[in-house]
Chain A
Amino acid sequence: MNIYSEVILDHYRYPRNFGSIKDPSKRSVLFNPSCGDKIELDVIFKKDKVEEIKFRGQGCAISQASASILTDHVLGKAKDELKKIDKEFMIKLLGIELGPNRIKCALLPLEALHKLIS
């Protein structure tokens, strides 16, 4: 199965929620030491719900698409709901099969998200 599915490529080429927020409620930065990838997340919470979320960073198509898909998914969701998003759910959300090395790329945005609410 090709990991560069239509959905992944679409998010990679036209990332949703890409950029930064001027005065975010919280900001998190995460590195993937195995490849030097970096992801930054900015979020504005309103009444404990994600009102706005933006990401930026350098990374492969998988990590960039994953950030785009994840930020899209969490818009409008409550903090408690964000905590419940786990690895399995994230992989399902991406809809592709990933080997042990690329899974790190795919999960980096989720780690950044969890850091945001911890």
Chain B
Amino acid sequence: MDFSYTEEQLMLQDSVQKFVQKSYAFDKRNEIIASEAGYSKEYWQLFAELGWLTVPFTEADGGFGGSAVDLIVMMDEFGRANLVEPFIPTAILGGGLISALASASQKAESLGKLMEGSLQLACAYAETSSRYNLASVGTSARVDGDAVVINGGKIAVLNGANADQLLVVVRESGAKIDREGISVFLIDGNADGIQKQVYTTVDGKKAAELSFDSVSVPASCRLGVAGAALPALEAVMDRAIVATSAEAVGALEVLLQKTVEYSKTRKQFGSAIGTFQALQHRMADMFIECQLARSIVIMAAMKLDSSAGAIEKTKAVSAAKSRVGRAIEKVGQESIQIHGGIAMTEELDVGHLFKRVTALGILFGNSDYHSERFATL
């Protein structure tokens, strides 16, 4: 048994830490969010040069190795920095689906560009009535000769505005929540008939709602076999969930650390508030939450990298998201409460971290959803 990082993982961690320390201060982050793209293209290029964009991919696909443990090492640091660059939509969701479903020639066209930093992707899966069920797909794709015509709408498409190409989850056959009949198409992000309503999310990322009005694309844009994409979509999403959970754990540990520091300097009634036992015990509980969250994310990542069966892997992923979700609620809320009014303002980074972890708690399914999924598997 060994829970230590490998030499390579330590180097990856160190490389992210150095970048963040040097180039990702609070003011810089605010500046990036306020820019039109909502992320730094310069930094994205740097991520490519540092090799970070290869981390989710196997060596066969030209990547770093593609282990889930590698991924959580990096995402943990991204969470600490409250990074807004679209790593999850482009590299994990978009790249993940291409890696899992695409033909060799489709991969050759996309993955290299992605890892070089010259391709932005977004994955359009969620719909107004789908909630967190990936099999609930109302957006339709109808074959019309050599083309396929897409109609419908997608919400919460992270990086949807900036994506050069979109991975669109559609239904080619069957009823709305059937597991069969779902396909993924890789299409031009600005194809005729796509309407985008762009917005910034509560945690400072760019996203969009998309509507597809008779969007005609070549049938060759389909990834894999028609109607059979759901298992791959679920597997990719499970990796994204572990990555997101690791990101949340990093952010939660910073919230804890900042709360403890503040409690040592903020004086009321003649004493630092950190000397009050009522607050000390609550910070001890926050620490426990962070530790348990970290443990279960490591468990899930190791399970994904193991030879365990599909159900066991999925259960591990849902366990992690559920437990981390509860830690998010507790640590997030307590960090605001112990800081008091100052953490309610836009001026302090604590509030921004609180908003980030809240959004991560929702993304890909909240605690209750994943507890239910765990229980039914």
- Do A and B form a real pair? no
On B, residues with C-beta under 8 Å from A are: none
